[in-house]
């Protein structure tokens, strides 16, 4: 297949392009950045410099394309609310322009880079009230070091669990709101055109080629950048936040499997899938493993927090494994050892 990869010169996008080339597909990259050295293996790809918000450029890039893998996005927790127009412009307007161009071009298959941030907090169970959905954490509690969300009914301690795709959406920050809006736009496009859409809700992606020294990057990039400077990784809260750290090559494999499977799906629908390793770790554990592999200073726990961050969010990726045959292949220790020595790329707020 000839597949347009928006944001294909970025961190995740470049790995997707490499995986598609290795699988025998013909990837075409649309990205605002000029061509860069590709991370990973795979055949060469045609490169088009352009913006997903430019309808004419998108239409030109779609010529002869069988499917679209939409990776282009502004990512990460915003610095402050002044970032909101930029997030909405890149993520939501850009997606709308792309989908409208796909409708005009008759391109009917889409794989969207979604995100676990649409869930807000993960799954929690109260010993007395069963599964509950805690509200946003209060600044007063965070200032006092009370990081765990209590049961909203009785205030008891909660047990975190794995979140599945049927969990209600509860975006807690601007980025999360735009990622959920992308899914709604893709679903509306599918219903209107009879197209087939998949949203891959990435959990905490890490690996070679992450952007360095940017406030919009993920926590793995923060820690790796600190170690590169000879500094101890600064772990927020108490370091016990649970996440699912999934290697970027496994995410690229999920995209390849989904692009090959999307044509078998019923038209007019969007199907969401979690993409995680299946093995939760705390942020503190990740920092310790990365520092050990890098040979740098041990992490320091700061007690600081970012308002809008959630406490625990870990994935059940069973649906994707059962319906596509995809499996995560890079283990936590193996992936962190590779990442500790891997090059980072220049700072960017774009996912690519």
User: DSSP readout, 105-133?
Assistant: HT--EEEEEEEGGGGSS-EEEETTTEEE-
Is 201 strand, coil or helix? Answer: strand
Q: Provide the Cα torsion 346, 244, 19, 99; round to 10°.
A: -80
What order do you get walking across the sheet with 67-70 strand by strand? 46-49, 26-31, 2-6, 67-70, 109-115, 196-202, 269-275
Query: What is residue 105's predicted lDDT score, i.e. its pLDDT?
Result: 98
CATH superfamily ID and name for 2-122+163-341: NAD(P)-binding Rossmann-like Domain (3.40.50.720)
Q: Where are the beta strands (DSSP E) in 17-157?
A: 26-31, 46-49, 67-70, 109-115, 123-126, 130-132
Residues 6+ apart with CB under 8 A from 37: none
Residue pair 350/90 in contact by the 8 Å Cβ criterion: yes
In a 10 Å sphere around its CB, with 0-12 CB exposed, 13-18 middle and 19+ buried, how is residue 229 labelled?
Answer: exposed
Residue corresponding to tokens 């007690």 = 303
In a 10 Å sphere around its CB, with 0-12 CB exposed, 13-18 middle and 19+ buried, how is residue 154 labelled?
Answer: exposed
Residues 6+ apart with CB under 8 A from 63: 105
| Closest by CA position to 242, among listed 162, 184, 175 | 162
Query: What is residue 135's predicted lDDT score, i.e. its pLDDT?
Result: 87
Query: What is residue 347's predicted lDDT score, i.e. its pLDDT?
Result: 57
Return per-residue pLDDT of the chain as tens, 352 residues.
Answer: 999 999 999 999 999 999 999 999 999 999 998 765 444 444 568 999 999 999 999 999 999 999 999 999 998 877 789 999 999 999 999 999 999 999 999 999 999 999 999 999 999 999 999 999 998 899 999 999 999 999 999 999 999 999 999 999 999 999 999 999 999 999 999 999 999 999 999 999 999 999 887 666 789 999 999 999 999 999 999 999 999 999 999 999 999 999 999 888 889 999 999 999 999 999 999 999 999 999 999 999 999 999 888 999 998 999 999 999 999 999 999 999 999 999 888 755 554 4
Compute how many other C-beta atoms are within 10 angstroms of the C-beta atom of residue 168. Answer: 8
CA separation, residue 252 to residues 119, 133, 207, 255 (Å): 22, 31, 11, 5
Give the residues across from 197 on adjacent strands: 110, 270
What is the spatial distance between Cα 94 and Cα 108, in angstroms, rounded to a whole number?
18
Query: What is residue 215's predicted lDDT score, i.e. its pLDDT?
Result: 65
Residue pair 324/261 in contact by the 8 Å Cβ criterion: yes
| Closest by CA position to 270, among listed 193, 192, 188 | 188
Query: What is residue 41's predicted lDDT score, i.e. its pLDDT?
Result: 45
Query: What is residue 39's predicted lDDT score, i.e. its pLDDT?
Result: 44
Is 49 strand, coil or helix? Answer: strand
Is 94 strand, coil or helix? Answer: helix
């Amino acid at each position: 297949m000839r597949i347009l990869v928006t944001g294909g010169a970025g961190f995740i996008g470049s790995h997707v392009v490499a995986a598609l080339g290795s699988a025998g597909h013909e990837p075409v990259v649309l990205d605002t950045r000029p061509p860069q050295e590709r991370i990973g293996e795979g055949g060469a790809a045609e490169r088009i410099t352009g913006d997903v918000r430019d309808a004419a450029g998108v239409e030109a890039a779609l010529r002869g394309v069988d499917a679209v893998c939409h990776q282009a996005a502004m990512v990460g927790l915003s610095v402050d609310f002044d970032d909101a127009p930029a997030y909405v412009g890149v993520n939501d307007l850009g997606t709308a322009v792309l989908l409208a161009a796909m409708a005009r071009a008759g391109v009917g298959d889409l794989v969207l880079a979604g995100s676990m941030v649409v869930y807000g907090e993960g799954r929690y169970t109260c010993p007395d009230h069963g599964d509950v959905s805690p509200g946003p954490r209060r600044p007063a509690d965070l200032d006092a070091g009370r990081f765990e969300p209590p049961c909203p009914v009785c205030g008891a301690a909660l047990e975190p669990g794995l979140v599945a795709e049927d969990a209600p959406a509860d975006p807690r920050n601007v980025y999360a709101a735009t990622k959920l809006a992308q899914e709604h736009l893709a679903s509306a496009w599918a219903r209107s055109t009879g197209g087939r859409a998949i949203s891959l809700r990435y959990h905490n992606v890490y690996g070679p080629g992450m952007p360095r020294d940017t406030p919009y990057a993920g926590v793995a990039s923060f820690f790796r950048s600190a170690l590169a400077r000879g500094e101890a990784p600064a772990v927020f809260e108490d370091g016990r936040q649970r996440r699912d750290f999934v290697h970027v090559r496994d995410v690229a494999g999920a995209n390849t499997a989904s692009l090959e499977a999307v044509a078998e799906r019923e038209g007019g629908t969007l199907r969401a899938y979690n993409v995680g390793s299946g093995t939760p770790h705390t942020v503190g554990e990740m920092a310790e493993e990365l520092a050990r592999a890098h040979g740098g200073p041990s992490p320091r726990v700061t007690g600081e927090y970012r308002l809008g961050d959630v406490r625990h969010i870990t994935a059940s990726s069973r649906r994707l494994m059962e319906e596509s045959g995809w499996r995560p292949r890079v283990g936590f220790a193996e992936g962190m050892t590779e990442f500790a020595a891997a090059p980072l790329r220049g700072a960017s707020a774009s996912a690519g």
